[in-house]
């Protein structure tokens, strides 16, 4: 308990939300949303909701029936949630996954995906003077996170995306599904040669995360004006970001993507578009 999030007694009309996952104990969302609730003096609560996979759909509709305003969904439910929703935003359809569900007054389940929003908002806030979509982007990785990043960059007007993944077929399949001529798939080993004239490099792989090998890529061909970002946030400064910073590139760590992706849900459920501040970053990273 800290002075930033003191306990609030709930009233009979409290707004309720939470995060469904299996497991969910690792999730930073309750801490993050709890900070915003306390800071905005909102009569509401945001709970960790561990749900076994076989109970997911029952639990989701039960939360609606219990009067919850909505829920975030995390691994392994992001695709299942998409199928369980009655209505999807365009970006959720294109990303092929849902991370934010709002229960409408008429009982319908509205699914959104805010990961791409979080990715772009983080870059806008942390690198406001960087024209990261003015030239080609190099995106490393072709998993679920990559898909959200690709859709967001295309929507942002990125003129060209060079997509590299260790397993080439996965990148080919992803590019085929998104089906935009601005995406070109390149072989993983030749990714360094694709850095030439790029204005953005994004690591969406798990490489560089605590317990994983580092992402080793020769940045020699990358203009020093290019923004380098990593969706990994543990550690905050990955080897990729340290290498980029050493050679003079602007860098943005991945924590802000997590914080910004939570804003639309909080706004819908609790009525305020919350701020992402240095104090919030520090609070979410600390464990006290
Ligand atoms: P997420 O949904 O978080 O993106 P994922 O679907 O498991 O997670 O994707 C993990 C990404 O990290 C993939 O692009 C994966 O590459 P493969 O498709 O070839 O598996 C990438 N990745 C994981 N370990 C890797 C490694 N040792 N070298 C290169 N890429 C790796």
Is there an atom of ligand 1 within 6 Å of 220 CB? Answer: no
Statement: residue 106 has pLDDT above 80: yes
Query: Can you give the residue ranges of every domain in the chain?
Result: 2-113+262-285, 116-255
Residue in 149, 122, 130, 124 with CA at minimum distance from that of residue 244: 130
Which atom of ligand 1 is least distant from the CA of 166? 19
Query: Rg of the chain's alpha carbons, rounded to an integer?
Result: 19
Statement: residue 275 has pLDDT above 70: yes
Looking at the whole model, is its pTM more than 0.85? yes
Q: Provide φ and ψ at 280, rounded to 5°.
A: -65, -45
Tens-digit pLDDT profile for residues 2-22: 456 666 789 999 999 999 999
For residue 214, the CA-to-ligand 1 centroid distance in Å is 13
Task: Check if 2-113+262-285 and 116-255 are the same fold.
Answer: yes
Q: What is the pLDDT of residue 8?
A: 75
User: Ligand 1: which of 141, 172, 191 to mutate, most ligand atoms within 8 Å of CB?
Assistant: 141
78 is catalytic: yes
Angle formed at CA 150 by CA 171 and CA 76, multiple of 5 degrees: 75
Question: What topology is assigned to 116-255 in CATH?
Answer: Rossmann fold (3.40.50)
Statement: residue 55 has pLDDT above 80: yes
Which helix (H) or strand (E) segment holds residue 154: the answer is helix 144-155
**Class of domain 2-113+262-285 as given by CATH:** alpha beta
Which helix (H) or strand (E) segment holds residue 80: the answer is helix 78-84
For residue 107, the CA-to-ligand 1 centroid distance in Å is 37
Residue in 113, 115, 103, 105 with CA at minimum distance from that of residue 60: 103
Statement: residue 1 has pLDDT above 60: no
User: Ligand 1: which of 142, 189, 205 to mutate, most ligand atoms within 8 Å of CB?
Assistant: 205
pLDDT, averaged across the chain: 96
Statement: residue 277 has pLDDT above 70: yes
């Amino acid at each position: 308990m800290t002075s930033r999030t003191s306990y609030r007694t709930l009233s009979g009309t409290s707004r309720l939300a939470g995060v469904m996952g299996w497991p969910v104990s690792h999730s930073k969302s309750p801490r993050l949303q709890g900070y915003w609730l306390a800071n905005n003096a909102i009569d509401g609560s945001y709970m960790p909701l561990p749900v076994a996979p076989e109970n997911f759909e029952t639990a989701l509709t039960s939360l609606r029936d219990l009067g919850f305003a909505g829920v975030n969904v995390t691994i392994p439910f992001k695709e299942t949630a998409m199928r369980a929703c009655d209505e999807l935003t365009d970006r959720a359809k294109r990303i092929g996954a849902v991370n934010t569900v709002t229960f409408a007054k008429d009982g319908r389940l509205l699914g959104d995906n805010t990961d791409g929003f979080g990715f772009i908002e983080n870059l806008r806030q942390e690198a406001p003077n960087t024209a990261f979509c003015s030239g080609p982007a190099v995106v490393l990785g072709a998993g679920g996170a990559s898909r959200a990043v690709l859709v967001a960059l295309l929507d942002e007007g990125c003129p060209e995306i060079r997509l590299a993944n260790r397993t080439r077929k996965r990148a080919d399949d992803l590019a085929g599904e998104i089906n935009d001529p601005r995406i070109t798939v390149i072989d993983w080993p030749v990714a360094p040669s694709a850095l030439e004239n790029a204005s953005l490099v994004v690591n969406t792989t798990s490489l560089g995360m605590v317990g994983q090998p580092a992402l080793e890529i020769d940045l020699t061909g990358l203009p020093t004006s290019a923004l380098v970002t990593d969706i990994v946030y543990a550690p905050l400064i990955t080897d990729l970001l340290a290498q980029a910073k050493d050679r003079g590139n602007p860098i943005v760590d991945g924590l802000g993507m997590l914080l910004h992706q939570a804003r639309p849900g909080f706004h819908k459920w609790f009525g305020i578009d919350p701020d992402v501040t240095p104090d919030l970053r520090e609070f979410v990273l600390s464990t006290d």
